[in-house]
Amino acid sequence: MLNAETNQYRFPEGFWWGSAASATQTEGAADVDGKGKNIWDYWYEIEPNRFFNGVGPQKTSQFYYKYKEDIQLMKEIGHNSFRMSISWSRMFPNGKGEVNPKAVLFYNQVINELIKYGIEPFVCLFHFDMPMELQKMGGWVNREVVDAYVSYAKTCFELFGDRVKKWFTHNEPIVPVEGGYLYDFHYPNEVDFAKAVQVGYHTILSSAKAIKVYKELHQDGKIGIILNLTPSYPRSQHPADVKAAILADAFFNRSFLDPSVKGEFPAELVQILKEEAFMPVINEGDLEIIKNNTVDLLGVNYYQPRRVKAKENLPNPKAPFLPERYFDYYIMTGRKMNPHRGWEIYEKGIYDILKNLRDNYGNIECFISENGMGVEGEEKFRDENGIIQDDYRIEFIHEHLKWVHKAIQEGSNVKGYHLWTFMDNWSWTNSYKNRYGLISINLNKDGERTIKKSGQWFKSVSLNNGF
Ligand code: NOJ
């Protein structure tokens, strides 16, 4: 609704305002209270030089110790909901077996504290952090890891499901496929398309199986998945460019979106995998499980568009097989950039995703589960009072929210907007290079928290339910 006087853009009542974060990126305490190693702890041990400024995952933002202060700050900046993730290797140091009581205590305290402040916990079970013991068995390549994951998920539902009513099986599941098995930015740093396909397939299977278990427990909540639905735009309407965009979309978006929402895989992708002899191992009964256990709720992460064009050169037949055999990336002249991160800003992309979900995915209930602006060297925007003057972030959020609002007016079933992220955190191999938070962290002052200008602005948006 457009409301002329106070708010120009008013959002539906009960709209979810908040942010998202993940365990490995915020908790710290990586080897404390019985936590087992995950792939990040291990990779940092053997190759610290792969991480920006050599900063690893051991301490991150100390949420493990400062969660009370942090949750108060969330309240202070108007959160009514917050997505966190549970660290699998904190819960199960070996990935399976005995649950770690100190982890149960910690997550109970965090969940209770959020609820005490009227902030609904949204909980994700897997955010890039495979327990190392399971990675030694092959990680998602090994089907036994699917079973270990389902039993970990079941334990979490049983322990926390009386209070947690929104669960997510995975965060951006295409990313561990890309990072770990195609493009070398997650451990185990392999470049192996066959494994990548098997990992993707097992991840989807694990999601469907966890959904099945959740439904069997009748816990009266919702379960979904968080996907980074980077829209693929063709350079032109030439059929070859359009086809390139369709295939990029099939590889990177529909590979997870279709099975998660429709219970089936995109025909274009299956055809390529068959033609190229890369079909994964599928056991009898799997496809039925995937078909019958789709998500209730979809989280949409959106940062930037993917622009593609038809391939201009023949691929090197000896190079490893990568999806880029089917398209080239295209740089659009005049694109708007985030100069502090080198990513394109295209606000309408968020609307295009929501429209696609409305028209082609049964208008499934969804929310923007991540959107945000990374800024390198953000300290230079700190003023004499110690406040980061991040007007660029305010503008970024504001412009995206306008498109979300338009989508709502046109019937999109989008229920909320979560920013990445609450406070500056550790971004995998980029470590603390790019800052995304509504709250800054001063790593030289024991992680001191200071609300940025955007944090105050976000509060007013949440309290007014619009702007
Ligand atoms: C997506 C991921 O979920 C999160 O872990 C990451 O840090 C942000 N994007 C920012 O790149």
pLDDT at 349: 98
Question: Given pLDDT bands bounded at 50, 70 and 90, which one contains residue 114?
Answer: very high
**For residue 413, how many other CB atoms are within 10 A of its CB?**
18
88 Cα to the center of ligand 1, angstroms: 18
Place of tokens 């699917």: 146
Residue 72: φ, ψ to 5°: -60, -40
Q: What is the mean pLDDT of residues 347-365?
A: 98
- Helix (H), strand (E) counts: the chain: 16, 17
Place of tokens 């469907």: 208
Residue 308: φ, ψ to 5°: -135, 165
Burial of 166 per CB tally in 10 Å (0-12, 13-18, 19+): buried
Question: Given pLDDT bands bounded at 50, 70 and 90, which one contains residue 3?
Answer: low
Question: Given pLDDT bands bounded at 50, 70 and 90, which one contains residue 142?
Answer: very high
CA torsion 253-268-139-165 (nearest 10°) is 40
pLDDT tens sequence across 151-190: 999 999 999 999 999 999 999 999 999 999 999 999 999 9
Q: Is the sign of the CA dihedral 304, 305, 310, 316 positive or negative?
A: positive
Task: Give the DSSP H or E segment for 159.
Answer: helix 143-160
342 Cα to the center of ligand 1, angstroms: 15
Q: Is the sign of the CA dihedral 151, 174, 64, 132 positive or negative?
A: positive
What one-character DSSP code corresponds to residue 403?
Answer: H
pLDDT tens sequence across 199-222: 999 999 999 999 999 999 999 999
Name the residue of 87, 420, 429, 431 whose CB sits within 8 Å of the most ligand 1 atoms, as the mutation to test its pocket.
Answer: 420
pLDDT at 5: 57
321 neighbors 197 (Cβ within 8 angstroms): no
Name the residue of 40, 185, 230, 370 whose CB sits within 8 Å of the most ligand 1 atoms, as the mutation to test its pocket.
Answer: 370
Q: Is the sign of the CA dihedral 211, 136, 425, 352 positive or negative?
A: negative
pLDDT tens sequence across 24-67: 999 999 999 999 999 999 999 999 999 999 999 999 999 999 99
Q: From the alpha carbon of 428, which atom of ligand 1 is closest?
A: 7
Residue bearing the CA closest to ligand 1, atom 7: 427
Residues forming the active site: 172, 370
Q: From the alpha carbon of 303, which atom of ligand 1 is closest?
A: 9
pLDDT at 321: 98
Q: What is the mean pLDDT of residues 80-105?
A: 98
pLDDT at 347: 98
17 Cα to the center of ligand 1, angstroms: 18
Residue bearing the CA closest to ligand 1, atom 11: 427
Q: Which two tokens stand for residue 97?
A: 């077996």
pLDDT at 1: 53
CA atoms within 13 Å, Cβ hemisphere of 57: 29
Q: Where are the domains of the chain?
A: 4-464
Residue 387: φ, ψ to 5°: -100, 135
Q: How far apart are CA 354 and CA 302, in angstroms?
A: 11
Task: Give the DSSP H or E segment for 82.
Answer: strand 81-85
285 Cα to the center of ligand 1, angstroms: 33
pTM for the whole structure = 0.98
- What is the overall mean pLDDT for the chain? 97
Place of tokens 């295409």: 174
pLDDT at 6: 60
372 Cα to the center of ligand 1, angstroms: 9
SS3 397: helix
Residue 272 pLDDT more than 60? yes
Q: Which residues are CB-contacts of 274 (< 8 A; sequence separation ≥ 6)?
A: none
53 Cα to the center of ligand 1, angstroms: 19
Q: Which residues are CB-contacts of 423 (< 8 A; sequence separation ≥ 6)?
A: 21, 26, 61, 70, 73, 437, 438, 439, 440, 441, 449
Q: How far apart are CA 216 and CA 387, in angstroms?
A: 49
As assigned by CATH, the class of the 4-464 domain is: alpha beta
> In residues, how long is the chain?
467
Q: How far apart are CA 379 and CA 242, in angstroms?
A: 42
CA torsion 185-188-189-192 (nearest 10°) is -120
Pocket of ligand 1 from Cβ distances under 6 Å: 22, 25, 171-172, 301, 370, 420, 427
pLDDT at 2: 54
Q: What is the mean pLDDT of residues 398-424?
A: 98
Question: Given pLDDT bands bounded at 50, 70 and 90, which one contains residue 115?
Answer: very high
pLDDT at 357: 98
Residue 334 pLDDT more than 80? yes
